[in-house]
Amino acid sequence: MRIEAIEVLEVRVPRTPRNRIITSYAALPDAHNAIVRVRAEGLEGVGEAPTERWWTGEDAASVRHAIEQYLAPELIGRDVGLRAALQRMEANLAANPYAKAAIEMALWDLLGKAAGQPLYALLGGGPPRPVPIKYVIGRVEPSRARDETQFAQSLGFTYVKVKVGGALADDLARVAAVRDVLRPGQRVGVDANAGWSPVEALAALAPLASAGISFLEQPVAARYPGVMAELTRRSAVPVVAHESLFTVRDAYQAAVERVAHIWAVTPSTHGGILPALDILSVARAAGLPCLIGSTVELGIATAAMAHLGAAVDLIADCPVPSDVIGPLYHEGDIVVAQPRLAGGFAYAPDGPGLGVELDHDAVQKFAVKA
């Protein structure tokens, strides 16, 4: 099956007023993402690049440029083979993992449709497992954090993650507000998004543990692997690495240096599902559980993540739930039916490939005009 055409377009979908997440990087008022359509022999596969310019230097416009100018010309007319496509993209353009992952996602969708099989089956999974997920609350005032926790509870969530990484007193007040309304058996963890200095992170360990958190995600920047390792040794709760993991090489270093107890794997930031599987293999060899991280995706990438989680026991069995939650945070989507997120679980769609269908009217509504 040979690739006949690759099309890229940009969409901008507003986040709901409740869910314009504030992190250590910035406030995130909308999803400005690139959507990829790959056609081959009467079939179409779709992919999504939910970009974070703070992480990889990419945005939707740069993804579009990279694909149209460098990646698509290298792939059109060639076979749909996944590993060969990734190798050609790597050889023709350095970095740009979101652009490469969006194409690779569309190729998985194509292959699944050609085989009449859902992605989780192509990944070797048996019956798909529900993926435990948690609700994410931004760096907001304590009263709003309390309200958002109650909203999460109304949706069936039993686990929430609170963004921290600012002044410790403010972070502790936010965590306390969430703890005040948690019910028995419900839990809260925190994510600093690399917002603290090494000194601040070390100082935060004991107060956060006393506040009752159940995990601490990416307290310092990836450029401090030794500090991450020291925090992991000292922490009374699991440390999660996210921004520390972009490439398989990062994974090997993280495993050797023991920079965390748990890894957050995000296919789009790794350059695709195959690179994510490579990272998961390193984690398995190192005896480390993994969750799926997020850049607050729309329905296409959310479906891909749900399939990955449904097929990989390392994710489904992780003691900290994943972040497969993007559709809950937007005022619309570009798929006809969003992947099911209910009761604190994400469910992989049953249809062939990703199991989602592009909503062409919604694409026109949210399209960014050139």
pLDDT at position 28 over 90: no
Structure confidence at residue 19 (pLDDT): 75
Q: Return the half-sphere exposure (C-beta side, CA atoms, 13 A cut-off) of residue 161.
A: 27
What's the pLDDT band for 59 if we cut at 50, 70, 90?
very high
**Which residues are CB-contacts of 42 (< 8 A; sequence separation ≥ 6)?**
none
Domains and CATH numbers, the chain: 5-117+358-366 (3.30.390.10), 122-347 (3.20.20.120)
Q: Which of 246, 215, 243, 247 is nearest to 231 (CA)?
A: 215
> Do 283 and 254 touch, CB atoms closer than 8 A?
no
Q: Which of 107, 186, 110, 175 is nearest to 146 (CA)?
A: 175
- Which of 26-35, 100-109, 286-295 shows the lowest mean pLDDT across its residues? 26-35
What's the pLDDT band for 186 if we cut at 50, 70, 90?
very high
What's the pLDDT band for 27 if we cut at 50, 70, 90?
confident
Q: Classify strands 131-132 and 135-137 as parallel, antiparallel or unpaired.
A: unpaired
Mean pLDDT of 125-144: 95
Mean pLDDT of 357-364: 98
pLDDT digits (tens, 9 = 90+) for 318-340: 999 999 999 999 999 999 999 99
Q: What angle do CA 310, 315, 321 make, to 5 degrees?
A: 100
What's the pLDDT band for 301 if we cut at 50, 70, 90?
very high
- 124 burial (CB, 10 Å; 0-12 / 13-18 / 19+) is exposed
Structure confidence at residue 178 (pLDDT): 99
Average pLDDT over the chain, rounded to an integer: 97
Please give the share of the chain, as a percent, with pLDDT higher than 90. Answer: 94
pLDDT at position 25 over 80: no
Mean pLDDT of 34-43: 98
Structure confidence at residue 21 (pLDDT): 73
Q: Which two tokens stand for residue 50?
A: 């939910």
Q: Which two tokens stand for residue 307?
A: 């399939």
Structure confidence at residue 296 (pLDDT): 92
Determine the Cα–Cα distance for residues 328 and 20; give it in Å rounded to an integer: 11
Structure confidence at residue 126 (pLDDT): 87
Residues in the chain: 370
- Residue that is written with structure tokens 């060899």 in the block: 285
Structure confidence at residue 157 (pLDDT): 98
What's the pLDDT band for 125 if we cut at 50, 70, 90?
confident
pLDDT at position 370 over 80: no
Structure confidence at residue 54 (pLDDT): 87
Question: Percentage helix, strand, coil, to 5, in the chain?
Answer: 45, 20, 35
Determine the Cα–Cα distance for residues 216 and 234; give it in Å rounded to an integer: 12
Determine the Cα–Cα distance for residues 217 and 240; give it in Å rounded to an integer: 4
Mean pLDDT of 292-308: 97
Structure confidence at residue 26 (pLDDT): 75
Determine the Cα–Cα distance for residues 341 and 345; give it in Å rounded to an integer: 6
pLDDT at position 256 over 80: yes
Structure confidence at residue 191 (pLDDT): 98
Mean pLDDT of 37-64: 96
Structure confidence at residue 154 (pLDDT): 97
pLDDT digits (tens, 9 = 90+) for 201-218: 999 999 999 999 999 999
What's the pLDDT band for 38 if we cut at 50, 70, 90?
very high
Mean pLDDT of 22-28: 75
Q: Which of 30, 28, 25 is nearest to 243 (CA)?
A: 25
Q: Which two tokens stand for residue 222?
A: 């990836």
